[in-house]
Structure 1
Amino acid sequence: MKNTVVKILTALAFVILITGVANAAGEAQRRWERMNQIRQEKFDLVLPEVMRENNVAMWITVSREGRDDPLTEDFGKGYVGSYGYYIFTDRGGERIERAALGIGTALIEDNGAYDIMTESFDLKEFVEERDPKSIALNFAEHIGAADGLSHTDYQKLTRDLGQKYAERFVSAEKLTSDFRSRRVASEIAAFAWAGEMSRNIAERAFSNEVITPGKTTLADVAWWMREQQFENHLGTSFGMPSVYITGPDGFVALSNDHVIQRGDFLAIDWGVGYLNFYTDMKRHAYVLREGETHLPASIQKAFDNGLAVRNILKNHIKAGRTAGETYTILNQEINNAGFKIMESFNSPTDDP
């Protein structure tokens, strides 16, 4: 009888273990499937448009063992023995040719987003056959996410392809920005989920669930938020969340052992990572003093002014303008409404 009980308990433990693994794999597979859908839609709908707008005939992204390009998640991560290449070529027609050379995984192949997948290739022959007039590479002056090519990668491409094609190298900075920023429907849905997770965690952090005035420190709040990222399998936009106290003179304390007190004005600046999306969200909170049931008039006024400026932003951000044009218009409209643009972040002012 004892042996039977042991066997039953062992079997139950095994079932629980398998069930737990299956549930964990479920979320991993769902995220993989979402990225597959996004990748297919981006390649079909966005890639041809942005390559032609930027006069790019071929786009090469280098992947190496132990060092991914910032775009690796977008293109599909696989095993790279030494060097691998994602190569997109405009050969005419509606579709851009997609090739993954030296990047091995059944997951990318099963996705069906690539026309060519092989571990055996001659990079120079591949490029010569297509003879592109321009070759975009991921080096960039202003955008870190478009600057994944190392100096060593650049030198190797120059050697392997020869001077003829090296003279056709151009920066993929604008191309990368356009490819990443033009969202398809599946991306918008995924980013909305990331934003909701970011909002939910931030607002719980600034609640009685987490904060006890006179006891909880800023670091306690920051670590609680970091733990929520860990438990929900989320990345981080900025490392440790910035949880701080601000006042008339600017920053008072930032994610440290400062104990939160009644009357403090708190702020959060943080973001989560989901798939290859990263949020950047702010939240503010006032810790009521004993006997207070509403915000002080000064803080309520600041909140109302913030809503007024937010409405200006919503009403004047329109499709069809450049970011620079929009920025100029917004500054003018904000000034017209009686507000002033801050010259630097969290700059105190005597202007009421």
Structure 2
Amino acid sequence: MKNILHIRLFVVMMLLVSGMASNSSQAIAKSQLTAPAAAAVLDQRSRVSPENQMMNERFKKLLPKLMAETNIDLWLVMAREYAEDPVFFSLVPQPVFAARRTTMLIYHLKDDGSVDALSVNTYPFGVPYKSVWSGGDLDEQWQALGALIKDLDPQRIGINSSRNWPVADGLTEGLHKRLLEVLPSDLEKRLVSAEELVVRWVETRIAEEQAVYPHVVQLARAVIAEGFSSKVITPGVTTTEDVAWFIRQRFHELDLQVWFMPYVNLQRAGIDCPSDNPFCATSGVIQPGDVLHTDVGICYLKLCTDTQEMGYVLKQGESDVPQDLKDALAIGNKWQDHLTSSFKTGLTGNQILAETQRKAKGEGIESSTYTHPIGFFGHAPGPTIGMWDNQDETPIRGDWPLYPNTAYAIEGNIRYELPMWNGQGVRIKLEQVAMFDGERVIYTAGRQTRFHVVGPKTAPQ
């Protein structure tokens, strides 16, 4: 029965790719937000096939295009065990856990526009790599690499060395020196930084990944809904730390990797949220009337999520979230709309931030924007759109332009003065994964427009 479920999930993923479920993200968000997630998570063995299929499609559809656009004829990615290049695991077939000894990956853009994936490696990888050399002698391995590069005679050789982008700075000093030793001087002069290629490779999502992403995000959202419920929270007893560890444990039970410790905090009447506090967070025992917030992130099928949502704990006699808080959340959604409507291909992160701030201030919304790309990493490279501690221009990363088929954690908050709290401020802190298709921003698994409610659906009489 378990294998049948895995097969069905894989079939659904492939149907998504073909476009037969193009509106699925909104349907999932509405109908399955609190549905049990266990049956929808592939076991470790069953993840290998879809992960490798997506990787192979990236090699065929994406890499040739990016190498041509960035004018790189040959891309070298080299790594050693315990010192893997940040992009290494996006380039190797599963199940690979490490760069065995010294691993050399070479990508050659051919005259016909296709890319040959080559390896000079003690242990051959197999498809899609063609093994040029295999063996156990390190000096012979380096000589084989030098001979291969000389034979291919590329004009621009991209290496992962970058001052500004950590993800593109994976070539260690030791490997760099060995590379220079085996290259003739004329080829050494052709070495260039591959940072543009690396950033574009990491930030771009192909159609197959875009189809799978809603499912990955929904898994995270479902666990949040479970954590922000009476199943987990007993007012007056349960602490914010208890909820954070429940979420962490639940992801562990589902065999979903977290990339940071879940964070849960609260706000309540009597604990002010001043304008100069960008987060306004308190920990402790959860009480009726508290406003809850969580921040969680998982990675599954090589795609990462980053999600922040809000909850409310009903007070005695309440059967619904107070209207003042609903109004505050609506303002938060409006801020999101101002941000996502500012996305235009070619604009930089700094330009999008400035336009978002202009729109928000025009409506009197007190907001803070700190949105970042997401994908193979939770904090991925690409255009930074504000930072929590810098609401002005961000140098270099904020100057990166917006490209189509890229994913973002739409992250930030608004401050709203609640009449029910005698004008005390509350922070509505939101974050949802969304895709930019070149024309519009689409939330991969919906967004929060209603509070999670902790307490009985009908208050006692």
Q: Same fold (TM over 0.5)?
A: yes
Distance 1:113 1:322 in 2: 35
User: Residues 47, 186 of structure 1: CA spacing in aligned structure 2 closer, same or farther, 3 A cutoff?
Assistant: same
Structure holding more strand per residue: 2
> Which residue of structure 1 lines up, in the alignment, with residue 336 of structure 2?
310
Aligned equivalent of 2:108: 89
**CA distance 1:242–1:171, change in 2 (3 Å):** farther
Name the amino acid aligned to 2:109. D
Gaps of 5+ in 2: 1-38, 136-140, 370-387, 390-412, 418-422, 426-461
Structure 1 residue 174, shift from structure 2 partner: 2.0
State the partner residue of 1:337. 363
Where do residues 16-165 of structure 1 align in structure 2 (5 Å cutoff)? 27-76=43-92, 78=96, 80-102=99-121, 104=123, 108-109=125-126, 112-116=127-131, 118-120=133-135, 121=141, 122-161=144-183, 163-165=185-187
DSSP 3-state at the match of 1:342: strand
Corresponding residue number in structure 2 for 1:7: none
Moved over 6 A (4+): 345-352
CA contact (8 A) 1:124 1:161 kept: yes
1:231 to 238, 253, 256: 253
1:283 corresponds, among 309, 314, 319, to 309
Report the AA paired with residue 190 of structure 1.
Answer: V
Q: What is the deviation of 1:88?
A: 0.7
| Amino acid in structure 1 at the alignment position of 2:120 | L
Could you say which residue in structure 2 is the equivalent of 1:5?
A: none
Aligned residue-pair number: 325
Cα distance change on mapping 1:316 and 1:115 into 2, 3 Å: same
Counterpart of 1:260 (choices 286, 291, 294) is 286
> Which is worse superposed, 297-306 or 93-102?
297-306
Residue 347 of structure 1 deviates from its aligned partner by 8.6
* Higher RCO, 1 vs 2 (CA within 8 Å, ≥6 residues apart): 2
User: Residue by residue, what CA displacement relative to the aligned partner does 1:204-242 show, whole Å, maximum 9, x if unpaired?
Assistant: 11111111111111111111111122122222222x111
Deviation at 1:119, TM superposition (A): 1.3
Q: TM-score, with normalisation over the residues of structure 1?
A: 0.81
Identity of aligned residues (%): 27
User: In structure 1, which of residues 326, 332, 339 is the aligned counterpart of residue 352 of structure 2?
Assistant: 326
Cα deviation for residue 103 of structure 1 reads 5.6
Matched, 1:296 2:316: no
The structural deviation recorded for 1:299 is 2.1
Q: Structure 1 residues 222, 301: CA separation in 2 closer, same or farther (over 3 Å shift)?
A: same
CA offsets per residue over residues 103-142 of structure 1, 9 Å max, x none? 625xx41xx3224454145111011111222222223344
Is the counterpart of residue 245 in structure 1 residue 274 in structure 2?
Answer: no
2:235 and 2:180 map into 1 onto residues whose CA distance is 61
Deviation at 1:163, TM superposition (A): 4.6
- Is there any run of 5+ residues in structure 1 with no aligned partner, and where? 1-22
C-alpha contact (below 8 Å) 2:331/2:414 kept by paired residues: no
8 A contact 1:237–1:280 mirrored in 2: no
Contact kept, 8 Å, 1:201 with 1:228, in 2: the verdict is yes
The amino acid across from 1:234 in the alignment is L
Q: In the alignment, residue 232 of structure 1 is paired with which amino acid? A: L
Distance 2:221 2:288 in 1: 23
For 1:312 and 1:47, locate their aligned partners in 2 and report how far apart those are by CA, in whole Å: 33
Please, which of 225, 233, 239 is the counterpart of residue 211 of structure 1? Answer: 233
CA contact (8 A) 2:101 2:122 kept: no
Q: Deviations 1:28-84 (Å, cap 9, x if unpaired)?
A: 232111111111111111111111111111111112123322222221154644211
Question: Computing the radius of gyration over CA atoms, which structure comes out larger, 1 or 2?
Answer: 1
TM-score, normalised with respect to structure 2: 0.63
- Per-residue CA deviations over 1:311-340 (Å, capped at 9, x if unaligned) read 333444344544444334333333333324
Q: 1:276 to 1:172 in 2, by over 3 A?
A: farther
**Quick one: distance in 1 between partners of 2:266 and 2:359?**
30
* Higher helix residue share: 1
> Counterpart in 1 of 2:192?
170
CA RMSD of superposed structures (Å): 3.2
